[in-house]
Chains A and B, each alone.
Chain A
Amino acid sequence: MAIERTSHSPAQTMAIGQQLGAMLRTGDVLLLLGDLGAGKTHLVKGIAQGLGSVDLVTSPSFVLINEYVAGAAHANMRIYHVDLYRITDPAELTSIGLEEIWNDQGICVIEWAERAQHWLPEAHLVVQIRYVDEMTRALRFVPQGARYQHLMAEFKDAAGD
């Protein structure tokens, strides 16, 4: 059951992320797909806010993985913000310790996840962000696995769809 949402501004993209973030649980893996400038980092900013994090969310393109801490209501769990923009060969993923990250009791949000296809956990939530025009983005949430089906049902109810 895929869910579609439309955003008309970076602020709205963040608000959608915030709503989703508040529902995330330890061990969740989100894959973000979308072109340069689609607003992936804005969505992650929202997700981190939804999890009660006060950390500054920035693009992890340079160091590949940024780490934030969720708020007390979310047990101060780790939020791993991964950016695979610079990855060309999935074999390189072993060197950056991704497996350790999703075996940890945190949340993992991966930008440019298409670079690591077939290598990521089977159960996950795909979030596609498509550029429509200057301000408009089409977001599509595709759950894989029971946990994420359930999450999407909850997300849909919360949005009043």
Chain B
Amino acid sequence: MTHLPPGFTILALETSCDETAAAVVRDGRSVLSNVVASQMDMHRRYGGIVPEVASRQHIRSLTPVLEEALAVLPTGWQNIDAIAATYGPGLSGALLTGLNAAKAIAWQRGLPFVGVNHLEAHIYANWLQVPAPVATSDTSPPDLPAFPLVALVVSGGHTLLALLHDHGHYELLGQTRDDAVGEAFDKVARIMGLDYPGGPAIQRVAEGIPRSEALPRAWLRDSYDFSFSGLKTAVLHKVREHQAQTGTSNLDAQFVAQLAHAFQESVVDVLVTKTINAAAHFGAREILLAGGVAANTRLRHELARRASVPVRYPPIWLCTDNAAMVAAAAYYRFEAGVQSGWDLDVIPGLKLGA
């Protein structure tokens, strides 16, 4: 355990998927800058992320994103005490661009460097202070998440439930056995002819639908694992059935809205039930929600409504991929005395707790 000096400032890079991001965070909590260049528009026309396009775009975006992130600091580089970057999980080519840039910066400036697990970073978005602190007479910092914690991480590539005993001490309780939640949203949206990304599209059309015919829920009893592929297939079946009945491949808006609602309800019910059960079973003091799908308002509200312990989730701009969360996770690694060597390589299939 190292006590980091007050004002310890980390510059972090995140390029695991389709966002090129850089951020400067002080004391592991105060977001001084957070710049994200999204490739969403480019990938939208393909209905998903294209790896080669992603890597090329990261290389193009990195320098301007980095410069913008540093521009807020009065003395620029002089303020930076350490460097961090995501090294997995993600697309290998995309991860390489950010990791290598970060290593080069750290080496050239003689700064400590640490690689961060992207999944851990999503969880640490909950440690960031929002909005950025302003000088007030009240010197007591806003409360930090209290261990033990149960964290639900839901995104385009990941769905997992973890028990956090302390910083750096995690236990994976469950994960998806097939599709990630975000992936299921994307694929189901595609089946129903909705836009990419599927999460916001499904949430939008499902809004205002009071109830719908329930779709199946995969409970996988006696396990904290998840499964969403059966639900995806159930939606596919409903669509085929409807097309056969109406004699046209066009789906009417009312049918799509009902089905989107039923799909979202099924997903939210399973995620919320398993999370609150885990929190009760392990005596968690809080529940943390993280990852891009944590932006889903239905999931947020339902989890907060049904949980008996406080539920914490980051603002939407810190749920989706960003580098501030990487800096937050890096802070606690540096504090634990951890640093990465120059030989740190990307690990596309990196797990939580590895």
Report which A residues bind B (CB closer than 8 A): 10, 35-37, 39, 41-42, 56-59, 61-67, 85-89, 91-92, 95-97, 131, 133-134
Contact = CB atoms under 8 A, between A and B. Distances in A.
A18 B53 CA distance: 36
B51 A95 contact: yes
B349 A66 contact: yes
Contact of A36 (B53, B93, B191): B191
Nearest to A56: B177
Contact of A88 (B17, B50, B90, B176): B50
Nearest to B191: A36
A34 to B, nearest CB: 12
A41 B90 contact: no
Contacts of B90: 63
Contact of B187 (A36, A56, A57, A65): A36
Interface of B: 17, 46, 48-53, 55, 89-93, 156-158, 175-180, 183, 187, 190-191, 229-230, 232-233, 235-237, 240, 348-349
A17 to B, nearest CB: 14
Given A37-B233, A63-B91, A131-B236, A86 B156 contact: no
Contacts of B93: 95-96
Which of A10, A35, A63 is packed against the most chain B CB atoms within 10 Å?
A63
Contacts of A91: 52
Contacts of B235: 37
A133 B230 CA distance: 14
A92 B230 CA distance: 30
A10 B237 CA distance: 14
Nearest to A44: B178
Contacts of B46: 86, 88
Nearest to B89: A63
Nearest to A59: B179
Contacts of B190: 36
Given A36-B236, A131-B240, 20 more contacts: A35-B236, A41-B229, A58-B177, A58-B178, A58-B179, A58-B180, A59-B229, A61-B157, A62-B17, A62-B158, A63-B91, A63-B92, A63-B348, A64-B91, A86-B48, A86-B51, A87-B51, A89-B50, A131-B236, A134-B233
B91 to A, nearest CB: 6
Given A37-B236, A63-B89, A85 B48 contact: yes
B183 A62 contact: yes
A109 B183 CA distance: 20
Nearest to B186: A61
- Smallest CB-CB A-B distances: 6 pairs: A62-B157, A37-B233, A92-B52, A37-B236, A86-B48, A95-B52
Contacts of B179: 41, 58-59, 61
